[in-house]
Chains A and B, each alone.
Chain A
Amino acid sequence: MAHGLDLPRGRGSGTNAPVKTFAAEARNRPERSAGLFARLGLVLLAGICLAGLAGCRSGGRALIVAGSTSVQPVMEKIAGAFRKTRPDLRVDIEGGGSSAGLMAIRTKTAALAMSSRELKQNDPQEAGLWRQILALDAIAIIVHPDNPVASLSLSQIRGLFAGSVKSWKEVGGADRPVHILVREEGSGTRSAFEELVMKDGKAETPIDDYALVQDSSGGVREVVRGDRDAVGFVSMGALNPHVKAIAVDGTPPTFETVRGKRYRLVRPFFLAALQPPAGDAADLVRFSLGSEAARILQTEGLVGVFE
């Protein structure tokens, strides 16, 4: 909104300049404008050149890894550690989502894809790709720390998110309404939650339409932190002391229960490629499965698969 801005008017152009005749002024003006346009053009040109340079700044070797934004943060840290062992190689980690990452290896714009969901075997775009489990991520069901409910069965959780359980009293809490929080359509965490919790055999119970929607794990966590009647789900890596993770069928989500496969709401994170990787990509995959990467994974709340 620019109205009401009082710009100083009609000053500017050279208060100390000698008085010129109108003709002299007029003769000077076009050149000045032409000069201005030339300068503008130069600036534009420089900008385009810079953008072009940025686009192909490597010249040397670059390894591009693209995909899930859930995997991206930890993969960046792993790549950071990997770079120290291979300073000659540039590794770029890009987001965009699991589907976009898998598409990128199809079109060869990325060497490796990160996926936070199982590949669709009935989709010709995704069937037959090479894939490797990178880590296990648990989905934690979170409530406000003051909520007396500490453990729920899978079907109780399903009831809460389907909207059929209206009061916390029905699952052993206070007589207060349930406020459900979910992630938006298209989120990998949401589709994993639907797969792991809302699906019972073949039948999938839809999530309640009145569920509040947040577009990040942090958003879900902050709302749950502020509302003692709220329940939501986040990646285990997004847990913090301000929210309480519910035990599912008596098992709380921890590093040990996830590794021991006792906690039920677990999804794998994958690395995928067109063919079994060779060369630099293979080095990165090997590093990602090694002991140093396992430590990084653990600090991020994930569980590495190779010990």
Chain B
Amino acid sequence: MAVDDLRRREERIRLALLCLAFSSVLVLALIILFVFREGVPQILKTGIPAFLAGSRWAPTKGAFGIFPMIVGTVQVTLGALLIGVPLSLLSAICLSEFASRRVRTVMKPLIELLSAIPSVVFGFIGVTVIVPLVRETLGGSGFSVLSAALMLSVMILPTVTSIAYDALRAVPASYREGALALGATPWQTVTRVVVPAARSGLVTAVILGMGRAMGETMAVIMVAGNAVVVPTSPLHPCRTLTSNIALEMAYAAGAHQKALFATGVVLFVMIFCLNSLATFIVRRR
């Protein structure tokens, strides 16, 4: 009797928790539904090729081409990865394989602290330091793909470093011992044994960093210049998909507003593909 009672209660709690767990999935589903319902008709009205490959964006005059922003997003993201990933991976390797315990216990929390800095602060530093620096040394207005990439490379540093570090620490000590016992130098052990063994985790780290760079909005608006052009030089200004939405949502109405939702749909699809890729790589291991 008492046991039955207990079991029923357990069952009820299990159900309640399941509902709570599904509530977040429900929110996701609602957001997707809403964004797609608002955005997809506008994409179809403009025509998929004209929307994705059109290079003129003047929503108040009926031109809805987001190609420059897709290119801008890709360029800024790749630029950030180009600078940020080598730095992050090397510091992760250093922390995990070569640093003493004392260095590690100080450095790891410090790197993670970097991710606690609000993005608007990074943007402010970008505007007051990076932009004038680029303007004085390399020319142009300073508001550029390069400035945005430099700033984002610092912003993805903690994400990539700490996930890569965890992946490297997860490699069993026996691998290292085996390699060293066979006469490999510490550097050979790292490059030939530990890094390949942690490969899927390292790739995940990079992809999550990529997602962070792609989704960053506030800081990028502040330094990228936001001109709707296909940048042909790192010193040209650019606009990313996220900035486009944030910049123009305040006054957008009618078709303009729908076009911003459509921008969100494209961004969603891009990030969804990235996440699927990350999951796929991790599973394949």
Q: Which residues of A contact B (CB under 8 A)?
A: 1, 3-4, 26-27, 30, 33, 37, 69, 97, 99-100, 103, 177, 179, 184-188, 191, 206, 209-215, 223, 226-227, 229-230
In the bound complex, how far is the Cα of B65 from the Cα of A209, in angstroms? 13
Residues of B within 8 A of A100 (CB): 253
Residues of A within 8 A of B162 (CB): 1, 3-4
With A30-B12, A227-B141 given, name 12 new contacts (CB 8 A): A4-B108, A4-B162, A26-B6, A97-B251, A99-B251, A177-B139, A185-B60, A186-B250, A186-B253, A188-B251, A212-B225, A215-B221
Q: A100-B253, A210-B227, A214-B226 are in contact. Are A229 and B112 (CB under 8 A)?
A: no
Total residue contacts A-B, CB cutoff 8 A = 95
B229 & A215 in contact (Cβ 8 Å cutoff): no
Does chain A have a CB within 8 A of B89? no
Q: Which of B235-261 contact A (CB under 8 A)?
A: 236-237, 239, 246-248, 250-254, 256
Does chain A have a CB within 8 A of B234? no
**Minimum C-beta distance from B69 to chain A (A):** 12
In the bound complex, how far is the Cα of B48 from the Cα of A201, in angstroms? 35
Q: A1-B115, A30-B9, A212-B227 are in contact. Are A186 and B59 (CB under 8 A)?
A: yes
Residues of B within 8 A of A212 (CB): 141, 143, 225-227, 237
B250 & A97 in contact (Cβ 8 Å cutoff): yes
Does chain A have a CB within 8 A of B132? yes
In the bound complex, how far is the Cα of B239 from the Cα of A177, in angstroms? 21
Q: Which of B1-36 contact A (CB under 8 A)?
A: 2, 6, 9-10, 12-13, 16
Residues of B within 8 A of A214 (CB): 226
Binary flags per residue of B153-175, CB closer than 8 Å to A gives 1, else 0: 00000110011001000000000
In the bound complex, how far is the Cα of B265 from the Cα of A223, in angstroms? 31
Q: Which residue of A lies closest to B57 (CB)?
A: A185
**Minimum C-beta distance from B99 to chain A (A):** 16
**Minimum C-beta distance from A71 to chain B (A):** 13
B141 & A179 in contact (Cβ 8 Å cutoff): yes
Residues of A within 8 A of B237 (CB): 210, 212
Tell me what chain B mostly uses at the interface: helix, strand, loop, or mixed.
helix
Does chain A have a CB within 8 A of B199? no
In the bound complex, how far is the Cα of B226 from the Cα of A185, in angstroms? 11
Does chain A have a CB within 8 A of B176? no
**Minimum C-beta distance from A181 to chain B (A):** 9
Does chain A have a CB within 8 A of B228? yes
| A-B contact list, 28 entries, CB within 8 Å | A1-B158, A1-B159, A3-B162, A30-B10, A33-B16, A37-B16, A97-B253, A99-B253, A99-B254, A103-B253, A184-B247, A185-B58, A185-B60, A186-B250, A191-B60, A210-B236, A211-B227, A212-B141, A212-B143, A212-B227, A213-B226, A213-B227, A213-B247, A215-B246, A215-B247, A223-B143, A226-B132, A227-B135
B60 & A3 in contact (Cβ 8 Å cutoff): no
Q: A3-B112, A212-B143 are in contact. Are A186 and B256 (CB under 8 A)?
A: yes
Does chain A have a CB within 8 A of B126? no
**Minimum C-beta distance from B108 to chain A (A):** 7
Contact partner of A229 (CB less than 8 A), chosen from B141, B226, B247, B252, is B141
In the bound complex, how far is the Cα of B141 from the Cα of A37, in angstroms? 57
In the bound complex, how far is the Cα of B57 from the Cα of A184, in angstroms? 11
| 8 smallest beta-carbon distances between A and B, as pairs | A186-B251, A213-B226, A30-B9, A179-B141, A1-B115, A97-B251, A4-B112, A212-B225
A213 & B141 in contact (Cβ 8 Å cutoff): no
Residues of A within 8 A of B246 (CB): 215
Contact partner of A1 (CB less than 8 A), chosen from B58, B112, B229, B247, is B112
